[in-house]
Amino acid sequence: MMKTVSTQTLEQWLNSTLSTAAFNDYCPNGLQVQGKPTISHIISGVTASQALIDVAAQREADALLVHHGWFWKGEDPRVLGIRKRRLAALLTHDINLLAFHLPLDAHPVLGNNAQLARVLGLVAEPTTTSNGLLWFGSMPEANTLGQVASLVEQRLNRPPMVIGAEELAVQRIAWCTGAAQNMLDQAIHGGAQVFITGEVSEPTVHLAREAGVGFISAGHHATERYGVQALGQAIAQEFGIRVDFVDLDNPV
């Protein structure tokens, strides 16, 4: 017999596991759109796009579990156009939407930063800053910026944008997944010779060059594929339900 968990129980477990109440986020964390009262099959992915919703509907999933959900601060709140089509698809198929943003970045085991460290071979220091969002550590397999960049490309399967000289000596590395280029200054003051994140902005390049540090933009999607996978595996283990990760490629 297929195992199920109530939507309410699952949300409570997720909120407790990820300590969502500790974060002042840019969007609501937890259940964003209510669907079926019980869940036996979850589709997980990075972003609640129409394409991912369509996959969930085709596979008759009861819920979507994502890192990037909806209802961001500052957005037009009206239900029009793309938002209407996405919401209508979820409601038509009675699919729950569960989304966790900063809590999933910061979790010390299941989070994006922790999982990126696992994938890249980064060894994290015991202390972090900015509510667990900026991590520091080292990469024992690499001694230069060029070596770090090469390992990032191999393990994320995409070439990163690299600012800095290949021969730059590296001992301490800082990282934060996604669009964390504005944390470069904190990384510099924390003593990092290299900062790894997902995105880059025009001022980031100047700051890195003038500070003499390396900056690696490895892709927002590419750096945030792993937390939601780890969380899905934890759900499957805890409740015995089916969780399938779907990786819809994004070049950014």
pLDDT in tens, 180-236: 999 999 999 999 999 999 999 999 999 999 999 999 999 999 999 999 999 999 999
Which is it for strands 134-138 and 214-217: parallel, antiparallel or unpaired?
unpaired
- What does DSSP assign to residue 159? P
CB 176 within 8 A of CB 133: yes
Output phi, psi for 131, to 5 deg.
60, 35
Reference 179, options 201, 198, 163; nearest CA is: 198
- pLDDT attached to residue 39: 98
pTM: 0.96
Residue ranges covered by each domain of the chain: 5-105, 112-223
Superfamily of domain 5-105 in the CATH hierarchy: NIF3 (NGG1p interacting factor 3)-like (3.40.1390.30)
Q: Which CATH number describes the domain made up of 112-223?
A: 3.40.1390.30
Which residue type occupies 209?
Answer: R
107: left (phi over 0), alpha (psi -120 to 50) or beta: beta
